[in-house]
Amino acid sequence: MSRARGPLLRWLLALVAGLGVACGTAGAETRVIDVHAEVREHAVFLDADLEVHLGTEVIEALRNSIALNLVVEVELVAPREWLWDRRLLSDQRALRLEYHALSRTWMVTDLTGRETHTFSKLAGAVESLSRIRAWRLGSSETLTGESRVLGKLRVKLDINKLPLPLRVPALVREDWDLDSDWFLWGLSEARR
């Protein structure tokens, strides 16, 4: 019986040690710092500032021509006391960060707005990725008659756009944990 426990115990210790190595390297983090929404030209526009820190494993994958796809989700809701919140406006924005080895440039592409910016350094690309400006969410008519409007915004890594061998590590390793929490804010009367 002790012979059966020996290999099992070694296997469990190796598994725990492997998870410690895989999950112990913190480094990736995404946070929503600030969001500003306002009505102008009969539409709701949004500006958002993010804080994106990439882990060493993600940077290494980028340098090996693996694109990083992020999805920014936003919702404007009318809170209700007894029922779930009524969704007034919602939208998604797809962003991609990639490295081109031949030209040694970093590219940030807003796939929703079909706009691409090129940078010589990773820091410039991440800074550009962290600023969302003049995002048109929809018509301001959906907000009329609402006394209180709350906004929610978050960022997620689109794991399905990663190559298949990276999808499982992206689910369990902290270096790939680029999902932010929901950032909540109130859309005040002055901004409507």
pLDDT digits (tens, 9 = 90+) for 81-102: 888 888 999 999 999 999 999 9
What's the pLDDT band for 13 if we cut at 50, 70, 90? very low
- Give the domain ranges of the chain: 28-191
Tell me whether residue 169 is exposed, middle or buried, using C-beta atoms within 10 angstroms of its C-beta: 0 to 12, 13 to 18, 19 or more: middle
Q: Does pLDDT of 80 surpass 50?
A: yes
- b/e map of 28-44 (b: 16 or more CB within 10 Å)? bebebeebebebeeeeb
Nearest alpha-carbon partner for 159 in 176, 173, 180:
176
Helix (H, G, I), strand (E, B) or coil at 87: strand
Residue with the bigger pLDDT between 23 and 115: it is 115
DSSP state of 160: G
d(Cα 82, Cα 121) in Å, to the nearest integer?
51
Q: What percent of the chain has pLDDT over 70?
A: 83
Q: What is the mean pLDDT of residues 42-62?
A: 93
Q: What is this structure's pTM?
A: 0.78
Q: What is the mean pLDDT of residues 16-25?
A: 39
